[in-house]
Structure 1
Amino acid sequence: MARVRVLPEGARSPGRHETESALSLARRMPRLVLEARRVAANLAHGIHGRRRAGVGESFWQFRPFVTGEAAQRIDWRRSGRDDRLYVREREWETAQTLWVWIDRSASMGYSSEFAQAPKIERAVVLALALADCFVESGERVGMLGLMAPRATRRIAETMAQNLVADRSSLEDDLPPGAPVAPQHEVILVSDFLSPVPDIASAVEGISARGARGHLVMIVDPVEETFPFQGQAVLHDLEDGLSLRIGDAESWGRAYRERIERHRSELQEITRRRGWTFTIHRTDRPASEAALRLLTLVSAARGTNLRGR
């Protein structure tokens, strides 16, 4: 039978009990930050151009020089190949804003012997790695209800510091429902085991003004397969309830069917809003989910994904 464990409350706020002094984050939660850096090192997100002329770094096109323009705009190398003067235009680029939310409720502390990491640790690593990639490509990243968007190169450390300091949201298994500005992007990382109507309400609230979003469901392998047999006791980590069952194998079949329905309903929620839905198992590398999220964000914006 699979062995499982549940992290205590303190472990869902990584590093808080290691010290109460103003030590650097590298000493407070080194393993998760370093793991996020390792994942991010293999990923990168391209600059998101608007395919129009303007201020930016990427070349867009040459066009003929127009009388009255400043002479310093002339590209003399290109003009030397023709009998006309040309101006090098750059693609207009703007920093986009991405919001991240990490579920740190009790169920996220679940871990089985088959997992590479507890759900909460995988969620933190994935969120920090994605933030690092987005900031590297010139974007701003914030945390819903916790941190305003920033473009600091130390975004992973900054986000982790906010997680360490915050204790107010350890019981919240749903993100704040406040509307996010149009064209902003939201990534919600959770096991999404809450009732579907509650999840739908949170998604509707966030996207009310036109924000795009992505649900990332973190799943322990045991939560998918339910490999138990004989008598078992099930514990509700959120409400503290327990249920003793006599035939776990028979009960497991009904459980798997219900989980499948739950996911289908979540997919319908995201489909209605034009969001995406990703399932990530904790027995798989974090880089798999990170790469999929970068690809989905790129596809939604019509941009290209490139590696470092």
Structure 2
Amino acid sequence: MSYDPIPPDVRSRLKDLRLTSRRAIGGQGIGLHRSRSRGAGLEFAQYRAYEPGDEPRQIDWKLYARSDRFFVREAERESPLALWILIDASASMAQADGANPGWSRLHAAKALAACLGELALRQGDRFGLVALRADGLRLVAPATGIRQRDRLLLELHGLAAQGAFPEPEQLTPLWERVGAGDLVVLLGDCFDEASVAIAERLAAARREVLVITLLTVEERDFPFTGGHRFRDPETGEELLGDGAAMRADYLARFTGAQRALKARLDASGIRHAEHFLDQPLDLPLRRLFGARDAAEYA
């Protein structure tokens, strides 16, 4: 698969991260359960044909000597979770900063989704994708392996930000498919009330939910001066105003809104992290999954 949204420097740092779920590892009183996933564990389960990307150390060289074909030894392993990656693909996710128009919220969401898929792949965990689009959901059911990673990247490559957030009746497959004990990571700007409501409903149903809020530098700093036209990409509404005159009121409102969102997520037991588009891509992953060196990138 040629499409790879993970920057090389970020990929090199992924080796230090490990997906964890509080419910799966007993943080909520539920112990680690056995999964039938296949990976590089200790208890031998089966052979399968070699696929590009498999580690050479997993090849059974004695079997190769007898058959002249490459086979990989798979093992059952302890796998506490199935990962669902939810991406808001509404029009507001196409927002980028004027100083960096080639890097939008959606670009960051795709790269983070690919990182999450890579981490799950390395652990032998199942992972899948749900794109929340105006015409409904685009769903890739969780599975393991190199081919699943390629399916994820293919979906991400073709994903565009457009239209409004899906209507409530379009979300039914989500409630039906995300199982008890699954790990859900929502990637979006959280400006739509419906996206926050999704996270709350899943958390109320005892799913482990994490939210990464994607925000632009201009939303954080509001660097505008002089007359400026602000436009809502989903409704088309426009506001004309003087940037310098609006700045103090805007920043107070923005800070208050973000504080209220965090309090709301905290109240539902939802772990969360902010990601501004000028920050290292892996910073929210390090904050959520407990990397001790997260402060180095703050």
Is 2:221 the counterpart of 1:228?
no
Is 2:274 the counterpart of 1:288?
no
Q: Is the partner of 2:103 in helix, strand or coil? A: coil
CA contact (8 A) 1:132 1:153 kept: no
User: Residue 43 of structure 1 aligns with which residue?
Assistant: 14
CA contact (8 A) 2:105 2:277 kept: yes
Q: Is the partner of 1:286 in helix, strand or coil? A: coil
Inter-partner Cα distance in structure 2 for 1:212 and 1:188: 11
Q: How does 1:125-164 map to 2 (within 5 A)?
A: 125-144=111-130, 145=137, 146-164=139-157
Question: 1:96 offset after TM fit, Å?
Answer: 1.4
Inter-partner Cα distance in structure 2 for 1:290 and 1:53: 24
Inter-partner Cα distance in structure 1 for 2:284 and 2:33: 34
- Aligned-partner residue type, residue 186 of structure 1: V
Residues 253/39 of structure 1: CA separation in 2 closer, same or farther (3 Å cut): same
Inter-partner Cα distance in structure 1 for 2:280 and 2:33: 40
Residues 271/106 of structure 1: CA separation in 2 closer, same or farther (3 Å cut): same
- Aligned-partner residue type, residue 118 of structure 2: D
Question: 1:162 offset after TM fit, Å?
Answer: 2.5
- Aligned-partner residue type, residue 6 of structure 2: E
Q: Is the partner of 1:183 in helix, strand or coil? A: coil
Question: 1:230 offset after TM fit, Å?
Answer: 2.1
Inter-partner Cα distance in structure 2 for 1:124 and 1:235: 24
Deviations 1:230-283 (A, max 9, x none): 2111111111121111x3222122111111122122112211221112111111
User: Residue 276 of structure 1 aligns with which residue?
Assistant: 271
Of structures 1 and 2, the larger Rg is shown by 1
CA contact (8 A) 2:127 2:143 kept: yes
Q: How does 1:17-56 map to 2 (within 5 A)?
A: 25-26=1-2, 30=3, 33-35=4-6, 39-44=10-15, 45-46=17-18
Q: Is the partner of 1:277 in helix, strand or coil? A: strand
CA contact (8 A) 1:36 1:129 kept: no
Q: Is the partner of 1:233 in helix, strand or coil? A: strand
Question: 1:38 offset after TM fit, Å?
Answer: 5.6
User: Residue 84 of structure 1 aligns with which residue?
Assistant: none
Question: 1:200 offset after TM fit, Å?
Answer: 3.8
- Aligned-partner residue type, residue 279 of structure 1: E
Inter-partner Cα distance in structure 2 for 1:107 and 1:52: 39
Inter-partner Cα distance in structure 1 for 2:231 and 2:19: 46
Unmatched segments (≥5 aa) in structure 1: 1-24, 60-90, 299-308
Question: 1:106 offset after TM fit, Å?
Answer: 1.5
Q: How many residues matched?
A: 233
User: Residue 111 of structure 1 aligns with which residue?
Assistant: 96
Inter-partner Cα distance in structure 1 for 2:188 and 2:222: 19
- The percent of aligned pairs where both chains have the same amino acid is 21
Question: 1:92 offset after TM fit, Å?
Answer: 7.2
User: Residue 53 of structure 2 aligns with which residue?
Assistant: none
Q: Is the partner of 2:146 in helix, strand or coil? A: coil
- Aligned-partner residue type, residue 132 of structure 1: E
CA contact (8 A) 1:43 1:291 kept: no
Question: 1:229 offset after TM fit, Å?
Answer: 1.7
Question: 1:165 offset after TM fit, Å?
Answer: 5.5
CA contact (8 A) 2:6 2:114 kept: no
CA contact (8 A) 1:123 1:190 kept: yes
CA contact (8 A) 1:236 1:242 kept: yes
CA contact (8 A) 2:82 2:142 kept: yes
- Aligned-partner residue type, residue 35 of structure 1: I
Greater RCO structure (CA 8 Å; 6+ sep): 1
Correspondent of 2:192 among 194, 211, 220? 194
Unmatched segments (≥5 aa) in structure 2: 26-30, 44-75, 131-136, 293-298
CA contact (8 A) 1:103 1:172 kept: no
Deviates more, 1:48-57 or 1:108-117: 48-57
Inter-partner Cα distance in structure 1 for 2:204 and 2:155: 26
Deviates more, 1:106-115 or 1:212-221: 106-115
Deviations 1:107-155 (A, max 9, x none): 1112124448221111101111111112211111111341100112244
